[in-house]
Amino acid sequence: MSGLLELEGLRRTFGALTALDDLSFEVPAGQVIGFLGPNGAGKTTTMRAIFGLTDLDAGTVQWNGRPVGHAERRRFGYMPEERGLYPGMLVGDQVEYLGRLHGLSAADAATATDAWLERLDIADRRDSKVEALSHGNQQRVQLMAALVHAPELLVLDEPLSGLDPSGIDAIGHVLVDQAQAGCCVIFSSHQLDQVEDLCERVVIIDHGHLVVSGTVDELATSGTRRLVVRVEGDRTAGWARHLPGVTVSEVNAGAVRLALESSVDSDDVLHAAMRAGRITQFSFERRRLSEVFREALA
Amino acid sequence: MKFLFIALAVAAVIFVRVRIFRGRRRRRASEGPMQDSASEAEAVTSPVSPPRQARARSWHLLEGSLGEVGMVATREISERVRSRIFRIGTLVILVAVAAAIIIPTLHSSGGPTIQTVGVVGRQSPATEQIVKTAGTTEQDSVKIVQEPSLSAAKSGLRSGAVDFVLVDGSQVLLDKPASNSSPADPALVHDVADYLGVLKAYQAAGLTPAQGTQIDRAKPVPVVSLQPSSKGTTKTTSVFGVVLLFLMLTQYNTWILIGVMQEKASRVVEVLLATVRPIQLLGGKVLGIGLVAMGQATLIVGFALAIAAAVGSDLLHGTAPLVLACDLLWLVLGYAFYCWVYAAAGSTAERQDQVQTLALPLSIPILVGYIFSITVASSGNADLFFKVLAYLPPTAPFCMPVLVGLGQVTWWEFVASVLITMAGTVGMAAFAARIYSRAVLRTGGRVRVRELLSRTVH
């Protein structure tokens, strides 16, 4: 299973509000993509556009180089932001029904439903009504509805919201497994620590246009380099304050956090520190995704 | 016979109630105790699932032949028929229909069918003949008993040995005033008193018995009309059909309205429309509920016909079977026309109170058709305005069957009305599908139709 989703020049306005503004990015197979942005950035509109649930003023959504149509969408899986299930329908019947709508035979839908019920540890709830389940289990059923037909593309809008740590782990493992099996996986979330743990790539948008895109490693190590240095007996970081291209961003209990401009050679910083005293720590610091996010939107 | 049917109907109701109760108890037993935790308010269900084969059987032929539309329709049928409200509602309707048919027959012929008539004094052969003729007319089996004296006759009345007494062919004597609860059949008493009065009048006029017989055998002169004669009106059946149409169209269309609103409110429509087209989802819902409606309507009409035949109701006299067949046809046509309107309306709402606001204006054309049809079916007089209503798609489902019952419509007029309604249905379906596909994904308040029809849709 391999595929490539390409969003090209998406534009969508609601009256005076521009929800999508020439938005373009790709979702390759085999990776979990984190789709980030502040509230109202256009994430949900983008996801709905993939499934034809909102009209576009301009732009194209393509799957493997061809426009996405009804036949392609039957091979996609979707978990909307506002959960959508029949409250009074039995869990097993509901998942089977949605599997059938995606083209599975009755027998295959039943088999896949049972397998996912086991995998997500809610096999004993097969004959319960959805409305009788807890929030976490409803979330699991919603995920099953998106997965039951073994989709080639998985689009999940806030799949981790409201879940306890075990629920986040369970769904997170499923997403990673799906990507490793060759599925394209993109999900939105405001829980940046979880996104950093699960995703290989992130796409950050704001006001409907792309702000940052890249692998988590690239983003964590790009931009201003950060250095943490401890010099025995030094509490003021006076040795670093006169270094050109170096900014002391924080001094905390002897740990000096420095921001280095691109022209600065870190060896010069090391020598300056050695002259100040015995070095007990000298390490580069990776940026957390939350920092990347805040900087991108600043 | 009719009492046997009443007993059977009561037994059927009790049987179904017991089945429902036992089924519920079994389910509770298999589900086990409910958890009390507020945070995890989940019922523990049986770990044993039904066999997969049994579940596979639930996917019907519809799916194979109609694809996604069939799947959506199958789900609608399965969920509706499985719901307790539907089952109990159907049962209540059947009981109401049985009561509506049986009670009038009890009222119209509530007296005893075997009447013992005491005779005091001298009776002419004509008197005896009069009593027997009246008995035949009122479907009573009459037995005539000669009483030795008036006092013996009175004691016979009090003891119930005789139901009423003829005294010298000039008086009818009863124990208590004739009514549905009295031993004497009031209709028979009335007929006998009338006939004896006529006999006395003949005698007072000096007519011979032969002359009296000649007068009795008088036949009315023919009444000829310029218009061809009707096949006979069936007022009861027409009224029954109109009421049934009104109840069913209102009920089934409300299902559509609420069903569409609930899919939108629960947001499941977004999951569904990510894989099926709006017209497929809408078509499946309309088809599924329509098939449930036709099944229920056929059951009710079949049940009504069986009961009517058993108790001898006049529901089946004259053109009644034709009227009932028309009612079923127009139920299909009426549902086909209105279901789209209600589906489109449901897609603009996402709360119960919004549905209630929508339901009233939507029901106005149905109410107009219903009120005019009931009035005309009762009076038997269809004016030009009513005939015009019989050709308009919103009111034709009610008015046209009434005209058929009155015999005031030709076959080509009937076909013309059917074709006009079908054309209206096609137009309404196209319009409703447009509204539905634009409104059903718009959340955050009631959607105005004017916004949906504007060129720029958001």
Residue range A240-269: mean pLDDT, rounded: 88
Burial class (CB in 10 A: 0-12, 13-18, 19+), A190: middle
Same domain for B177 and B82, yes or no, is: no
B40, part of any domain: no
Q: What is the 3-state secondary structure (H, E, C) of chain A?
A: CCCEEEEEEEEEEECCEEEEEEEEEEEECCCEEEEECCCCCCHHHHHHHHCCCCCCCEEEEEECCEECCHHHHCCEEEECCCCCCCCCCEHHHHHHHHHHHCCCCHHHHHHHHHHHHHHCCCHHHCCCEHHHCCHHHHHHHHHHHHHCCCCCEEEEECCCCCCCHHHHHHHHHHHHHHHHCCCEEEEECCCHHHHHHHCCEEEEEECCEEEEEEEHHHHHHCCCEEEEEEECCCCCCHHHHCCCCEEEEEEECCEEEEEECCCCCHHHHHHHHHHHCCEEEEEEECCCHHHHHHHHHC
Enclosing domain of residue B176: 114-210
B226, part of any domain: no
Domain count, chain B: 2
Q: Is the pTM of this model over 0.90?
A: no
Kindly determine whether residue B42 and residue A107, on different chains, have CB atoms separated by under 8 Å.
no
Same domain for B270 and B169, yes or no, is: no
B106, part of any domain: no
Please give the Cα distance from B177 to B200 (Å, whole number): 23
Kindly determine whether residue B276 and residue A101, on different chains, have CB atoms separated by under 8 Å.
yes
Q: How far is A129 from chain B (nearest CA, A)?
A: 9
Of the candidates A83, A132, A145, the beta carbon closest to that of B43 is on: A132
Same domain for B333 and B434, yes or no, is: yes
What residue ranges of chain A are covered by domains with CATH 3.30.70.920?
223-297
Query: Helix B278-311 to helix B84-108 angle, to the nearest 10 degrees?
Result: 30
Q: Please give the pLDDT value at position A90.
A: 93
Burial class (CB in 10 A: 0-12, 13-18, 19+), A236: exposed
Kindly determine whether residue B55 and residue A93, on different chains, have CB atoms separated by under 8 Å.
yes
Chain mean pLDDT for chain A = 89
Measuring CA to CA, which residue among B330, B335, B328, B337 is closest to residue B414?
A: B330
Domain of B192, CATH number, reads 3.40.190.10
Same domain for B304 and B172, yes or no, is: no
Identify whether the C-beta of residue A186 lies closer than 8 Å to the C-beta of residue A155.
Answer: yes
B149, part of any domain: yes
B76, part of any domain: yes
Q: Please give the pLDDT value at position A177.
A: 93
Contact B42/A at CB under 8 A: yes
Residue bearing tokens 């009315």: B220
Residue that is last in its domain, among B177, B210, B243: B210
Kindly determine whether residue A100 and residue B458, on different chains, have CB atoms separated by under 8 Å.
no
Q: ipTM score here?
A: 0.82
Backbone angles phi, psi at B139, to 5 degrees: 60, 35
Same domain for B245 and B353, yes or no, is: yes
List the single residue in A with minimal CA-CA distance to B278.
Answer: A53
Architecture of domain A223-297: 2-Layer Sandwich (3.30)
- CATH of range A4-220; options 3.40.50.300, 3.40.50.720, 3.30.365.10, 3.90.79.10: 3.40.50.300
What residue ranges of chain A are covered by domains with CATH 3.40.50.300?
4-220
Residue range A131-141: mean pLDDT, rounded: 90
End-to-end CA distance of chain B: 66
Same domain for B158 and B279, yes or no, is: no
End-to-end CA distance of chain A: 39
Dihedral sign for Cα B375, B376, B381, B382, please.
Answer: positive
Q: Please give the pLDDT value at position A58.
A: 92
List the single residue in A with minimal CA-CA distance to B46.
Answer: A124
For A32-64, write each residue's pLDDT tens digit.
999 999 998 999 999 999 998 888 999 999 999
Kindly determine whether residue B274 and residue A51, on different chains, have CB atoms separated by under 8 Å.
yes
| pLDDT above 90 (res A109) | yes
In order along its 458 residues, chain B shows pLDDT tens digits of: 444 444 555 555 555 555 555 555 554 444 443 333 334 444 433 333 444 444 444 445 666 667 889 999 999 998 888 888 888 988 998 898 888 878 777 655 544 578 888 888 877 777 888 888 888 877 788 888 888 888 898 898 888 889 888 888 888 888 888 776 678 888 888 888 888 888 888 888 888 777 877 887 777 776 665 555 444 446 777 888 888 889 889 988 988 998 899 888 888 988 999 889 888 999 999 999 999 988 988 898 888 888 888 877 666 666 677 778 888 899 999 999 999 999 988 888 878 778 778 888 888 999 999 999 999 888 878 889 999 999 999 999 999 988 888 888 888 999 999 999 999 999 999 998 888 888 888 776 666 666 666 644 44
Measuring CA to CA, which residue among B430, B423, B421 is closest to residue B398?
A: B421
Same domain for B191 and B154, yes or no, is: yes
Same domain for B127 and B246, yes or no, is: no
Residues 6+ apart with CB under 8 A from A115: none
Q: Please give the pLDDT value at position B133.
A: 84
Pick among B53, B263, B271 to test the A interface (most A CBs inside 10 A): B271
Q: What are the C-alpha distances in Å from A278 to residues A250, A270, A285, B90, B359? A: 20, 11, 20, 90, 83
Centre a 10 Å sphere on the Cβ of residue B22 and count the other Cβ atoms it contains: 10
CA dihedral of residues B243, B245, B246, B251 (deg, nearest 10): 120
